[in-house]
Amino acid sequence: MRVAICAVGRLRAGPEKALIDDYLTRFGKTGRALALGPAQVIEVEDRKGGGMGAEAQLLDRAIPAGALVCTMDERGAVMSSPEFADQIARWRDQGRQDLAFVIGGADGIDPTLRARADFSLSFGQMVWPHMLVRVMLAEQLYRAASILSGAPYHRL
């Protein structure tokens, strides 16, 4: 199952990008035997300043056709890492070939795009900078693949 992280904003070279690249490379290597991956980041940018509506249109075009859509949203489900791993495995086992995680801009995700999502995930009640959410999501993808493979990366 291929994974796309569709996100508003461009991430320049720096520690966040290095972490994302590292975790997604690890996810790809660990996930290959589990039919998970590869993962890629697809960035969109609203250069005209059209707000959430314009961002939603750009994000919608970035989502691979037929992908299961999971928004990253503070109103979403809060899960433990093992629960997240199990959810990814269920989607894979249901035959989903593409999974798209959607990360909005500073104002969040437009309600119309949120409404069409198949699932919504939250990293807790705190609001996180959208660039850090990318890092956290990349790490959790790698952790999920590690959990599913039985590797010792995740400790309870």
* Angle between helix 81-93 and helix 130-149 axes, rounded to 10 deg: 70
- Tokens describing residue 109: 């995700």
pLDDT > 90: percent of the chain: 81
User: Backbone phi, then psi, for 68, in 5-degree steps?
Assistant: -75, 130
Asked if residue 154 is part of any domain, the answer here is no
Which CATH number covers residue 104? 3.40.1280.10
For residues 93 and 21, what is the distance between their CA atoms, to the nearest angstrom? 26
Average pLDDT, the chain: 94
Asked if residue 88 is part of any domain, the answer here is yes
The pLDDT assigned to 64 comes to: 97
pLDDT tens digit string along 25-84? 999 999 999 999 999 999 999 877 788 899 999 999 999 999 999 999 999 999 999 999
Which residues constitute the domain of residue 98? Answer: 2-64+72-149
Q: Which of 137, 145, 144, 153 is nearest to 101 (CA)?
A: 137
Asked if residue 155 is part of any domain, the answer here is no
Kindly list the distances between the CA atom of residue 43 and the CA atoms of 25, 33, 78, in Å, as whole numbers in the listed order: 18, 27, 25
Number of domains in the chain: 1
Asked if residue 116 is part of any domain, the answer here is yes
The pLDDT assigned to 156 comes to: 58
Asked if residue 156 is part of any domain, the answer here is no
For residues 50 and 35, what is the distance between their CA atoms, to the nearest angstrom? 38
For residues 51 and 56, what is the distance between their CA atoms, to the nearest angstrom? 9
